[in-house]
Structure 1
Amino acid sequence: MPEITRKQHPTPPPINAVVIGRNEGERLKNCLKSLAGQVHRLIYVDSGSSDGSVAAARAIGAEVVELDLTVPFTAARARNAGLAALNDQSDTSLVQFVDGDCTVDALWLETSSAFLADHDDVAVVCGRRREQHPEVSVYNRLCDQEWDTPIGEALACGGDALMRVGPLRQLGGYRESLIAGEEPELCVRLRQNGWRIWRLDAEMTRHDAQITRFEQWAKRARRAGHAFAEGAALHGAPPERHWVRETRRALLWGLALPASLLSSVMISPWALLALAIYPLQFLRLSRAMPLEQAFFTVLGKFPESVGVLEYHWNRLRGRSRRIIEYKSAG
């Protein structure tokens, strides 16, 4: 892994920030305050909030972009709107994308911008995203475990990342039709154009999921399945094979195996013994991850498979799926 070094740069590129959100309440205020004074321009893109987010953002000093909600909302469209608002910034500038339910670590922008200054072939750098309150629910803990990804060169980033503006503009930004998984899809295109993605062992953001109910978790898993299917449809061909394995696993464990077992039971009750394949899979996974994570990884394949089927059903009908919301208002 390249070392994070500090070179002397007489004219460092300006760092701007684009924050997106809707009805994030206090979470948004905390997010914007964590960036205020650290960036050249602070832009907040609002997606129809009814909780006073727009006024609160302006009071903190952010420039506000209000999305036209006559067009179906996606986070990708909101991020592109924030990027478009930086039209007076050169392609050498940097932009920190942040979700409105996150706060940014005080040292992150200094650390990440120094890394980009020393590594000209890296377009995106991200760090450690941690869940703010993992003790509140098992679902928050699952998010915290999900954020714990390997350090070094990566295939993709999440919603929080520092990026070079030039490559983003050259590729047309995020794919606005995606209801989820827009960052990994963007990273696929960046890598195809010779850029690299890097994850640093440095604190980046604190995320406040507020997932306290099973229903919320299941919707989030369903949304992930939809993202897997659409990502595979876009970039599933070799050599990328983007999210092909994840899509197949969702269909295998969440649909094909249950359907096969149910049909077998109609022939012989002994077929119920085959249901042991699920606890066996749980035991196999538990050797590499915490027990609760292994359990929900197995269970999650059922809502994921629903998301996969939703994507393909809508694709056959020529329709687009609106976003799958699972969060509570701030």
Structure 2
Amino acid sequence: MGREISVKELAKLVDGKIVGDENIVMKSVSSLKDAGAGDVSFLANKKYAAQVQKTKASAVIAGEDFTESPREGQAFILCKNANTAVSKAIDFFAPPAIKFPPAIDPKASVAKSARIGKDVHVGPCAVIDEEAEIGDGSVICAGTYIGHYTRIGSKCLIYPNVSIRERCIIGSRVIIHSGTVIGSDGFGFEAGPMGIQKIPQVGIVQVDDDVEIGGNCTIDRARFGRTWLKRGVKLDNQVHLAHNVVVGEFSMLIGQSGVAGSTEIGRGVIIAAQAGINGHITIGDGARVAGTAGVLKDVPPGESVVGTPAESPRDFLERVTLPGKVKKMRQTIKELEAKIADIQGRAL
């Protein structure tokens, strides 16, 4: 049976103010559109404010500036930060986390020279190759491959069907989602008289502590040295990092963004969905790159860029509105020419 909580108890949990019936009992969290009786929902984006009056949710978490009144049999919980509050509500109702027993499945293949720490889980059909090392309390799920000499830190969670190739270094408390490939060869080729020749990629990938990597990401090993994800980096699904890329602490790269070789991304950078970052450039600390932007040159620290080629929001707005301004100017010029012609005609 799932958990239940009253509005009064939930308001205390999320540090919110109650408007309406504090005794309503809730059993789950849902969206405004899909919620029914017994659900708590939330309004974190004013774009959806109209849905509050239509929702069947028994309670709604909203910001302190929300001024609507609940209907009979409904309550609002007003909080300083609705997003933070609903996260606490979701945590309350969430099903228990799946527990992986500390054991090596008999269907797994673990090399004799591999070093396996205490309380490690290795799932069926996982492969841990020669001289690999798995830290205490880590989970290697079914079908995952850990290559020769690769080191995995403690308390990592590596979901099914992840491939981490030889000599890579993974820190502690790292989460890697299914389908991701770490340590594939960087895209290094050179055209010559004998055709396209492959350039050896002999470096590694280093992933520091507390990094989370989404599903189906591809992170290439360095040509030499390392491709490096520093502490606390978060990658969405389907992100690509080319050889020798460096991503600074606590930066976030959103789905389908890609970074070309040898580019350095600073600390606390956000790169939005489908942005493309040129090679051999620097994205400064705290910079923001808008979705679908094409970044061809360095971005200074703290700057925001949009469009292709990427530029400041002000320059982008001026550029995209210029054709409309030119059209209006042409119309104005035609009107002025007509007036001048009329004046000249009457003067004759």
> If the length of structure 1 is used for normalisation, what is the TM-score?
0.23
More helix by share: 1
> If the length of structure 2 is used for normalisation, what is the TM-score?
0.22
More strand by share: 2
